[in-house]
A and B are shown apart, each in its own frame.
Chain A
Amino acid sequence: MKKIWILLAFLPELLIGQNPSAERIIEQIDRNMASKSRILTATMVVHAERGSRTMEMKVWSEGEKRSFTEYLSPARDKGTKMLKLADQLWLFSPSADRIIQISGHMLRQSVMGSDLSYEDMMDDRKLTDVYKATVIGPDVLDNRNCWVLELRAKAEDVAYFMRRMWIDQERNIPLKEEWYAKAGKLLKQTTLTDVKKIDGRWFPTRMVYKDMLKTGAGTEFIINEIKFDETIPESLFSKAALR
């Protein structure tokens, strides 16, 4: 039945033999992946030059604007919490008993030594608001038919001037992303695998982020459990919840 709906959605393009519009593809991704809220537990493995580090965490998020993260292990990081409210980010360290606001140039630093920066974590604007998207054409990635999208920045204040995305044509999920600087240099690469059907939607449960300017083999983010549209207490999204 779902296949029929997808077929109908892309029917106009199929009839005239053209690629679907980028806006339509992004809309389909949002329809598949977006949710009112998410609660997930995940394992983050940072493969640095001198070995790998594994962290366990629990994340509560509501839309794209609000999220609360608590690190569960290892012992050194246990109890570290992060709160994101729109464009503001706070961090609580139990060892120092301090709430520190992350802002300015610190946003470009890596999150817990991973290949992701706070800035990457903070970017919650809609892709279509920030980028002008075009479909480059079809491609095959890991035996899956994909659309390749190229997104060029409309706004000046974006961290990555150009993004290239490989979108699974059937499941409406990104399988690979490349983030470029204005000069055309590849800065970061993400691959999304282990796609599972959870609560009626396709969702990648393993993501590998690679900062191309860093040595090491990248950062794995593995979702162990994810729940969509659960009710999250309002009190969690406040600075009081950090301590």
Chain B
Amino acid sequence: MIRFILKGLLRDRQRSLLPVIVVVTGVFLTVFLQCWMTGILGDLVDFNARFTTGHVKVVTKAYFERIEQTPNDLALGETDKLIGSLQKEFPDMEWIQRIRFGGLIDAPDSRGETRSQGPAVGWGIDLLSPGSKEVERMNIKKSLVKGSIPSRRGEVLVSDQFADKLKVVPGDQITLLGSTMYGSMTVYNFTVAGTVKFGSSVLDRGAFIADIHDVQLALDMPYAASEILGYFNTNHYERQQAAANVTRFMAGSDPNDPYAPVMVSLRDQNGLSSMVDYMDVVSAIFIMIFVMAMSLVLWNAGLLGGLRRYGEVGVRLAVGESKGHVYRSLVWESVLIGLIGSVIGTAIGLILSFWLQRHGIDVSAFMKNASMMLPAVFRAEVTPSSFYIGFIPGLFATVIGTSLAGIGIYKRKTAQLFKELE
């Protein structure tokens, strides 16, 4: 029967082409929208994880309470020992230390006096250790605009926009004026190795990256760091595992010691939990509304298809075909149309989504004055659900629409049939 119906659909384009186009369009839009929303959310989480939050973060209790001020006077001490114990306790994660700080960057003239200056945020990360993944994690190679990645102590990367403002180029000297861990003033010289475009308007306005050992020296922080970040070896944020690690770590933490290390998961930083939950709900509602709207459209298409063939159904009943057989054949037809349309629509949606997953859309032009740390390029993300979500409107709505329209077959009266045909 299916082969018969399929032949009928292929030979009678009027019966199949329009419904398939409608289903393909609806399914494509559903799949693409789902991938795009998932991608934006994933990009936000991933960007924050790479630059600020890690998958989990270890800081002192007092530091966490004022984390937005990056108070390095409350930084972690003896980080070498702490990292050693974290590596032993949580081998499923890679542990790295970073120092975040603020200060004034001053560029000198030929007499060593101020020529230009500006406030900046700084990162001390492990740039020079062999095997360090920090360069890759912060996407530094691809972000490099001028010069090179620091290869020796004392070298620094500056955001390209900030370098232009300071009028410095690779090879020039700059001076950091900031505060040490103990609150005293520090003045420390660096050489610009290269300039980078971080891909976040906030950072591009004024940020620099130096090797953590230089920063420890500059800020009088030997064996100390603002924070220790943990990244899952799989490179993906695993929400439940992160929560389990936090619970296990916190069981041994002293709640009365302000300098005791505490562990927080990605979700519990930067307001990400509320943002992720909010975006989860919003995107779910958005996708649900869209799926429902598409379902109505496709349902309607099924209904119209059934009504358009009112005459044909009459003839088929007149020549002796049973009502149940006619009804079943119409439903099977819609199953085939829904299936073909869903497969084609999903394929097109996935192709476009895969392309956007690879290339993304650069939105930096719209975020010049953004004060939040947001990625400049948003990408789609294809997930397992992307492969089947289009079938909900594409297959089920079409079939339900046809099934409802087909009920009319049972109301047909053979006595009126010839009158209708006349």
Contacts and interface: CB of A to CB of B under 8 A. Distances in A.
B182 A112 contact: no
B113 A239 contact: yes
B185 interface: yes
A105 B114 contact: no
Contacts of A49: 62, 73-74
A48 B114 contact: no
What bracket does the count of chain A residues touching chain B fall in? 20 to 34
A28 interface: no
B70 interface: no
Interface string A211-229: 0000000000000000000
Interface string A37-68: 00000000010111101000000000000000
B385 interface: no
Interface in A61-86: 76-77, 80
Interface string B163-207: 000000000000101011111110111000000000000000000
B106 A98 contact: yes
B117 interface: yes
Contacts of B184: 46, 53, 76-77, 112-113
Determine the main DSSP class of A at the interface with B. mixed
A51 B182 CA distance: 8
A96 B189 contact: yes
Interface of B is mostly: strand
B182 A53 contact: yes
A95 interface: yes
B112 interface: yes
B119 interface: yes
A50 B175 contact: no
A100 B181 CA distance: 21
A109 B177 CA distance: 11
B365 to A, nearest CB: 27
Contact of B113 (A51, A101, A110): A101
A48 B113 contact: no
Contacts of A110: 179, 183
Contacts of A104: 117
Given A100-B175, A239-B113, A48 B187 contact: no
B188 A100 contact: no
A199 interface: no
Contacts of B62: 49
Nearest to B183: A113
12 contacts: A46-B184, A50-B181, A80-B185, A95-B188, A99-B111, A100-B114, A101-B113, A106-B177, A109-B104, A109-B179, A113-B183, A239-B113
Interface of B: 62, 73-74, 104, 106, 108, 111-114, 117, 119, 175, 177, 179-185, 187-189, 220
Interface of A: 46, 48-51, 53, 76-77, 80, 91, 93, 95-101, 103-106, 109-113, 239
